Protein backbone atom coordinates (compact mmCIF):
# COMPACT_ATOMS: atom_id res chain seq x y z
CA UNK A 1 0.00 0.00 0.00
CA UNK A 2 1.04 3.58 -0.59
CA UNK A 3 1.13 4.39 3.11
CA UNK A 4 3.64 1.55 3.60
CA UNK A 5 6.04 3.26 1.19
CA UNK A 6 5.28 6.89 2.00
CA UNK A 7 6.11 6.76 5.71
CA UNK A 8 6.23 9.77 8.03
CA UNK A 9 10.01 9.94 7.85
CA UNK A 10 9.69 10.41 4.07
CA UNK A 11 7.16 13.26 4.32
CA UNK A 12 8.46 16.78 4.83
CA UNK A 13 7.12 20.31 4.82
CA UNK A 14 8.66 23.62 3.75
CA UNK A 15 7.50 27.18 3.27
CA UNK A 16 9.50 28.84 0.52
CA UNK A 17 12.31 27.43 -1.59
CA UNK A 18 13.62 27.02 -5.12
CA UNK A 19 12.75 24.02 -7.28
CA UNK A 20 16.30 22.66 -6.93
CA UNK A 21 16.19 22.95 -3.15
CA UNK A 22 12.70 21.42 -3.12
CA UNK A 23 13.81 18.33 -5.06
CA UNK A 24 16.94 17.99 -2.93
CA UNK A 25 14.96 18.34 0.29
CA UNK A 26 12.27 15.92 -0.90
CA UNK A 27 14.92 13.33 -1.77
CA UNK A 28 16.87 13.73 1.50
CA UNK A 29 15.02 10.94 3.38
CA UNK A 30 15.70 8.52 0.53
CA UNK A 31 19.39 9.39 0.66
CA UNK A 32 19.40 9.02 4.43
CA UNK A 33 17.81 5.57 4.39
CA UNK A 34 19.95 4.32 1.51
CA UNK A 35 17.15 3.98 -1.04
CA UNK A 36 19.03 6.22 -3.47
CA UNK A 37 22.54 7.55 -3.92
CA UNK A 38 23.55 11.19 -4.38
CA UNK A 39 24.01 10.69 -8.12
CA UNK A 40 20.31 9.82 -8.42
CA UNK A 41 19.30 13.20 -7.04
CA UNK A 42 21.84 14.92 -9.30
CA UNK A 43 20.37 13.10 -12.30
CA UNK A 44 16.87 14.23 -11.38
CA UNK A 45 18.06 17.83 -11.15
CA UNK A 46 19.80 17.53 -14.52
CA UNK A 47 16.70 15.97 -16.09
CA UNK A 48 14.45 18.76 -14.86
CA UNK A 49 16.88 21.48 -15.96
CA UNK A 50 17.24 19.96 -19.44
CA UNK A 51 14.93 21.11 -22.24
CA UNK A 52 11.55 19.48 -21.73
CA UNK A 53 12.32 18.57 -18.11
CA UNK A 54 9.04 20.03 -16.97
CA UNK A 55 7.41 16.74 -18.06
CA UNK A 56 7.83 15.87 -14.39
CA UNK A 57 5.04 18.38 -13.66
CA UNK A 58 1.93 16.21 -13.53
CA UNK A 59 -0.42 19.18 -13.33
CA UNK A 60 -2.56 20.18 -10.37
CA UNK A 61 0.58 21.58 -8.68
CA UNK A 62 2.26 18.17 -8.45
CA UNK A 63 5.79 17.27 -9.52
CA UNK A 64 6.98 13.68 -9.78
CA UNK A 65 10.76 13.87 -9.67
CA UNK A 66 12.51 10.72 -10.86
CA UNK A 67 15.31 9.31 -12.98
CA UNK A 68 16.23 5.90 -14.38
CA UNK A 69 17.04 3.15 -11.85
CA UNK A 70 20.64 2.84 -13.03
CA UNK A 71 21.20 6.47 -12.00
CA UNK A 72 21.48 5.33 -8.38
CA UNK A 73 18.41 3.52 -7.01
CA UNK A 74 19.09 0.84 -4.40
CA UNK A 75 15.51 0.32 -3.16
CA UNK A 76 12.03 1.21 -4.36
CA UNK A 77 10.86 4.22 -2.39
CA UNK A 78 8.72 7.34 -2.43
CA UNK A 79 9.10 10.65 -0.62
CA UNK A 80 6.98 13.81 -0.50
CA UNK A 81 7.67 17.46 0.15
CA UNK A 82 4.63 19.66 0.77
CA UNK A 83 5.32 23.33 0.09
CA UNK A 84 3.28 26.23 1.45
CA UNK A 85 4.30 28.28 -1.59
CA UNK A 86 4.68 26.62 -5.00
CA UNK A 87 7.99 26.48 -6.85
CA UNK A 88 8.41 27.10 -10.57
CA UNK A 89 9.74 23.78 -11.85
CA UNK A 90 12.81 24.41 -14.04
CA UNK A 91 12.23 28.11 -13.30
CA UNK A 92 9.26 28.00 -15.67
CA UNK A 93 6.37 30.05 -14.26
CA UNK A 94 3.91 27.86 -16.17
CA UNK A 95 4.86 24.90 -13.94
CA UNK A 96 4.01 25.85 -10.36
CA UNK A 97 4.20 22.89 -7.98
CA UNK A 98 3.46 22.69 -4.27
CA UNK A 99 3.73 18.90 -3.96
CA UNK A 100 7.07 17.35 -4.89
CA UNK A 101 7.16 13.57 -4.93
CA UNK A 102 10.47 11.77 -5.44
CA UNK A 103 10.01 8.33 -6.92
CA UNK A 104 12.75 5.72 -6.88
CA UNK A 105 12.12 2.33 -8.45
CA UNK A 106 14.58 -0.50 -8.87
CA UNK A 107 12.98 -1.73 -12.09
CA UNK A 108 10.00 -1.32 -14.42
CA UNK A 109 7.72 -3.58 -12.42
CA UNK A 110 8.35 -1.70 -9.18
CA UNK A 111 7.89 1.59 -11.05
CA UNK A 112 4.52 0.54 -12.51
CA UNK A 113 3.26 -0.75 -9.17
CA UNK A 114 4.15 2.38 -7.26
CA UNK A 115 2.86 4.61 -10.07
CA UNK A 116 -0.48 2.77 -10.06
CA UNK A 117 -0.89 3.40 -6.33
CA UNK A 118 0.14 7.03 -6.69
CA UNK A 119 -2.20 7.53 -9.66
CA UNK A 120 -5.11 6.15 -7.64
CA UNK A 121 -4.42 8.81 -5.04
CA UNK A 122 -3.77 11.70 -7.41
CA UNK A 123 -6.82 11.24 -9.64
CA UNK A 124 -8.95 11.97 -6.57
CA UNK A 125 -9.47 15.77 -6.59
CA UNK A 126 -10.38 15.83 -2.90
CA UNK A 127 -7.22 13.90 -1.95
CA UNK A 128 -5.09 16.27 -4.06
CA UNK A 129 -6.60 19.26 -2.30
CA UNK A 130 -6.09 17.69 1.12
CA UNK A 131 -2.45 16.93 0.28
CA UNK A 132 -1.82 20.45 -0.98
CA UNK A 133 -3.30 21.91 2.21
CA UNK A 134 -1.65 19.40 4.56
CA UNK A 135 0.60 20.90 7.23
CA UNK A 136 1.20 17.79 9.31
CA UNK A 137 1.93 14.11 8.90
CA UNK A 138 -1.55 13.31 10.19
CA UNK A 139 -3.12 15.46 7.46
CA UNK A 140 -1.03 13.75 4.79
CA UNK A 141 -2.04 10.35 6.20
CA UNK A 142 -5.71 11.37 6.04
CA UNK A 143 -5.29 12.42 2.41
CA UNK A 144 -3.55 9.18 1.50
CA UNK A 145 -6.17 7.00 3.22
CA UNK A 146 -8.59 6.93 0.24
CA UNK A 147 -5.83 5.40 -1.93
CA UNK A 148 -5.80 2.22 0.14
Catalytic residue positions, numbered: 66
What three-state secondary structure class fits 100? strand
Residues with Cβ < 8 Å from 56, sequence gap 6 or more? 47, 48, 63, 64, 65, 66, 89
The crossing angle, in degrees rounded to 10, of helices 19-32 and 38-49 is 160
The residues with which 65 forms a beta bridge, in sequence order, are 102
How many CB atoms sit inside 10 A of residue 31's CB? Answer: 17
Amino acid sequence: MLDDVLTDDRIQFAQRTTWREAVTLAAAPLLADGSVRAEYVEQILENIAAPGGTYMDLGFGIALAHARPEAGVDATALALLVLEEPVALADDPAHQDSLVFVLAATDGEAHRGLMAQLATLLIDAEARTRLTRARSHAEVRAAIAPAR
